[in-house]
Structure 1
Amino acid sequence: MASTRILLALLIPAFVAAQDLEEQVDAVVQKNLKALRIPGLAIGVARGGKVLLAKGYGRADLENNVVVEADTVFRAGSITKQFTAALIMKLTEAGKLSLDDELHKHLPDFPKKKHRITLRQLLSHTAGVRSYTSLKEKWRKRSRLDLDHEDLLAVFKDEPLDFPPGTQWVYSNSGYYLLGMVIEKVTGLTYQKHLERTLLRPLGMGRTYYDDTRRIIKKRAHGYDVRGRSTRNADFISMKQPFAAGGLATTVGDLIVWVQAVAAGKVVSEDSLATMTTRTLLKSGRSVDYGFGLALGNLAGKRIIAHGGSINGFSCNLSWLPDHDDTVIAVLSNSVSSGPRMLATQIGDIVRATK
């Protein structure tokens, strides 16, 4: 009987803390849902290897009044890039390529530029390859089409470099598209198959998909375009277009599994993770707060490793605080807004204050 009382005494504070966390998160989420007119979102929070909160808010489908649940699937946009970076690092560990390989070594048909472009520079957005998504009308008029690699490359391959590689940092979806092609060339598999075999299946990420608009995915959220007082269905985009730069769809639960696996050394080696999370050094000596597929910063003096994502009708944020008991915060939403980033920051403050 005494041992039972002791056990209860230990469990009650943890329960109260989790309950308090959920109440505070609920209040913050409801405020942002209303202010930003976000149709729906899912929140996942973990700390010390334990999931503290996984919950849906609002609507996944406005037309059919379907609520968001913890396991609702959202498009992840550029969160995909850290998966692509991890695949490259694993191929490096296996000796199948080097970060300092010239792009042309693996993709000889890509037009040679005035300056040498390396895989390392593509990973860190310092290669100067113009992002196809920045080529407004040239790309947008093709964005609804299921383009193969040759046709998508035609959008940007002949564009001049934005700057000599290694001298500046400019975000480039083209760089990660090319990295996806390198993965296919080296492995002999499609990006999707290699991703599934190497990462998704071994890690048990059964609710993460290489997205396909034709595929039936249970509990898939619909994307919306919210402008002022108007809400409409988001413009269609072929999911062949984002490819290795932004083609995944997932849940907050699977994103927590992903970060916890990365932290535990189940994805890449300790040395590879250190490389991925080291600030990029430009030729001028200036450092940039970005590694490989991961943005680097601090929250209240503690490291934060994060990345956002935005694609037609969806935005998201995934944050990892390794110095705060490996806290993970995942926010997925079905409209494009600053909400996920803001919520991740506010929830981070709540988690740090919750014992």
Structure 2
Amino acid sequence: MAHRCARLCGVTALGGSMTRCVLATLLLLALPVPAWPQSAPARPVAEDPEITAALALVEARLETERIRRKIPGLSAAVVYDQQILWSKGFGFADVERRIPATPRTIYRVASITKLFTATMLMQLRDAGKVGLEDPVTRYVPELQLRSRFADSPPITLLQLATHTSGLSREAPMDYWRTLRFPAVEAMVAALTQDGERIFPPYREWKYSNVGYAILGLALSRAAGQPYFDYVEQNILRPLGMHDSGFQPTAGLATGYALPEGDAPPKPVFQPDYGGYGPATSLYTHVEDIAKFISLQFRDGPVGGNQILRGSSLREMHAAHWIQPDWQSGWGIGFRITRIGSYTAIGHGGGIQGFRTDVSLIPALKLGVAVFTNTNSDPDELTAMVLELLGPVVERAQQRSRPAPPPAPAEWRHYLGVYRTDFGSRVRIRLHEHRLEMVPAEEPAATPVVLTAIAPHQFRMQGGWASGEVLRFEVDSQGQVTGVWIGAYPARKEALPE
């Protein structure tokens, strides 16, 4: 039976003690977790015992997958809001020298670099130095692309950032064969001479490495500063990413080709990617990238480590392109997917000997980074971690909220059924010391939660009027006669039950 359970849990590659640990963790996660009693103080989310148990399972699952997928080395970190909940290295950063992977092992994160280029775009936009709808030729006038389409407006900075410009994936050059990558200016010249627009803008989503290289060139010209210098001074250093940069450094993992059969992994050549710097050249580790993940969960004006205002971050996270199957999309720099019932954003990176991924659920302030030193599929691993942790964190957040105080006695006057002029009926009810609104005929529907903000006024949370104010009407005798649901009136129809 234990053997069968281990197989079902995906831990057959582990030793007996690890298997027993994982099985015990699974049993703990399977048990219902009661809400904390109202008399108990609220427990911080990071200290919730269910999260502790889930992180033990994450650790075991990642090591199992590393072994199964023959990944030489793997580093991972889980972020909740402004703190690292957990980080660990698995296997070896260098197999030959038996150097273990750690949370501070440096990896080439390849296209995750594009998130930093997109952040630079938003910083310069907020500073008034560029506009998202500016044509790229305003900054790179030498780029002149042929187009076979009658309706082919100029390529904009926003289109480059969202991969909607119709630009080819690469420049028409042989650098992926020779692994000698030219300067971006040479790529622009090759596109002008031999390239063309593959699609008109917004016809199809088409990932473009050369598009991000050109975006980086345009932004560096707008900033009056080399791309690498700008990102280091305005993004990496203010965030405290002091081990990150654009040159190989001590602690860099060795990149390997994915092993075949039982053969040992073989190191692969690491080229200089030349003009692809803004698309693929960042070196970092999971504990440094955690600081960039935490940035995505902050709000407020620019200052200190708040390198981009909250509204601009939300603009980056918002969907600017939805795929025809409505299963995924793209923001400004960020991919957008569904993981379970949650919307997740992130980016992956793949380059000779390295595959990396970051993924986060903004609504939960939960993120994960998985870096590997071979051609693996870390996006599958980040999705696995978020699928496991998402519901756990959501339950922990619910338990961390202090119990609401007893409802004021006068709230009983609000209870009852109200009919709108459209004929629909809603019920105002009291549940666990809070007021709620549901359709009168659907008591099991997800309620709109009402939070008091002033006498007879409540902020609505949930439903079509979420964020608006619900206001009760009271006559001269103090009797509740109706309610305004946002801009829509409803009269009281029945006495409280």
What TM-score, normalized by structure 2, do the two folds share?
0.64
Contact 2:327–2:338 (Cα < 8 Å) also in 1: no
Name the CA shift for 1:142/1:180 in 2 (closer, same or farther; >3 Å): farther
Contact 2:184–2:213 (Cα < 8 Å) also in 1: no
- CA apart distance, 1:341: 1.1
| Matched residue, 1:279 | 319
| Matched residue, 1:225 | 257
What letter corresponds to residue 53 of structure 1 in structure 2?
Answer: W
| Matched residue, 1:92 | 125
Q: Deviations over 1:43-84 (max 9, x none)?
A: 100224331111100000112111001111111111111110
Percent identity of the aligned residues? 27
Residue number among 228, 251, 254 corresponding to 2:285 in the alignment: 251
Name the CA shift for 1:48/1:292 in 2 (closer, same or farther; >3 Å): closer
- CA apart distance, 1:273: 2.0
Does the alignment pair 1:24 with 2:60? no
- 1:99 & 1:15 partners in 2: Cα distance? 42
What letter corresponds to residue 347 of structure 2 in structure 1?
Answer: H
Q: Deviations over 1:173-201 (max 9, x none)?
A: 01100111011111121100000111111
Partner of 2:78, secondary structure, is strand
Which structure would you say has the larger RCO, counting Cα contacts within 8 Å and 6 or more residues apart? 1
| Matched residue, 2:186 | 151
Partner of 1:132, secondary structure, is coil
- CA apart distance, 1:260: 0.9
Partner of 2:370, secondary structure, is strand
Partner of 1:323, secondary structure, is helix
Residue number among 278, 294, 297 corresponding to 1:260 in the alignment: 294
Q: Following superposition of structure 1 onto structure 2, how do residues 163-242 of structure 1 map, counting pairs within 5 Å?
A: 163-210=199-246, 212=247, 215=248, 217-229=249-261, 230=263, 231-242=265-276
What letter corresponds to residue 350 of structure 1 in structure 2?
Answer: L
- CA apart distance, 1:302: 1.7
- 2:115 & 2:329 partners in 1: Cα distance? 15
Q: Which has the higher helix share?
A: 1
Contact 2:79–2:293 (Cα < 8 Å) also in 1: no
Does the alignment pair 1:350 with 2:385? no
- CA apart distance, 1:251: 0.9
Name the CA shift for 1:188/1:269 in 2 (closer, same or farther; >3 Å): same
| Matched residue, 1:270 | 310
- CA apart distance, 1:19: 4.3
- 1:259 & 1:26 partners in 2: Cα distance? 20
The runs of 5 or more residues in structure 1 that have no matched partner are 1-6
Partner of 2:258, secondary structure, is strand
- 2:327 & 2:342 partners in 1: Cα distance? 18
- 1:263 & 1:19 partners in 2: Cα distance? 22
Range moving further from structure 2, 83-92 or 42-51: 42-51
Contact 1:45–1:54 (Cα < 8 Å) also in 2: yes
What letter corresponds to residue 234 of structure 1 in structure 2?
Answer: V
Name the CA shift for 1:144/1:25 in 2 (closer, same or farther; >3 Å): same
| Matched residue, 1:14 | 47
- 1:279 & 1:288 partners in 2: Cα distance? 9
Name the CA shift for 1:193/1:43 in 2 (closer, same or farther; >3 Å): same
- 2:351 & 2:360 partners in 1: Cα distance? 22
What letter corresponds to residue 149 of structure 1 in structure 2?
Answer: V
Name the CA shift for 1:246/1:279 in 2 (closer, same or farther; >3 Å): same
Name the CA shift for 1:220/1:111 in 2 (closer, same or farther; >3 Å): same
Partner of 1:296, secondary structure, is strand
| Matched residue, 1:3 | none
Contact 2:321–2:329 (Cα < 8 Å) also in 1: no
- CA apart distance, 1:34: 1.5
Contact 1:28–1:343 (Cα < 8 Å) also in 2: no
Residue number among 98, 105, 117 corresponding to 2:155 in the alignment: 117
What letter corresponds to residue 298 of structure 2 in structure 1?
Answer: A
Say which one has the larger Rg.
2
- CA apart distance, 1:346: 1.5
Name the CA shift for 1:10/1:160 in 2 (closer, same or farther; >3 Å): closer
Range moving further from structure 2, 296-305 or 147-156: 147-156
Contact 1:280–1:288 (Cα < 8 Å) also in 2: no
- 2:250 & 2:54 partners in 1: Cα distance? 29
What letter corresponds to residue 209 of structure 1 in structure 2?
Answer: G
Residue number among 317, 326, 329 corresponding to 2:368 in the alignment: 329
Contact 1:306–1:319 (Cα < 8 Å) also in 2: yes
Name the CA shift for 1:312/1:241 in 2 (closer, same or farther; >3 Å): farther
Contact 2:296–2:362 (Cα < 8 Å) also in 1: no
Contact 2:81–2:294 (Cα < 8 Å) also in 1: no
What letter corresponds to residue 380 of structure 2 in structure 1?
Answer: M
| Matched residue, 2:344 | 304
- CA apart distance, 1:227: 4.2
Contact 1:279–1:288 (Cα < 8 Å) also in 2: no
Q: Deviations over 1:180-229 (max 9, x none)?
A: 1011111121100000111111111111111x3xx4x1211111111422
What letter corresponds to residue 287 of structure 2 in structure 1?
Answer: G
- 1:353 & 1:100 partners in 2: Cα distance? 39
Matched residues, number: 339
- CA apart distance, 1:153: 3.2
- CA apart distance, 1:16: 4.6
Contact 1:104–1:112 (Cα < 8 Å) also in 2: no
| Matched residue, 2:196 | 160
CA RMSD of aligned residues (A): 2.7
Name the CA shift for 1:301/1:222 in 2 (closer, same or farther; >3 Å): same
Q: Deviations over 1:113-147 (max 9, x none)?
A: 443111111111011111227x6x722234235x2
- 2:391 & 2:166 partners in 1: Cα distance? 41
Contact 2:76–2:286 (Cα < 8 Å) also in 1: yes
Contact 2:145–2:196 (Cα < 8 Å) also in 1: no
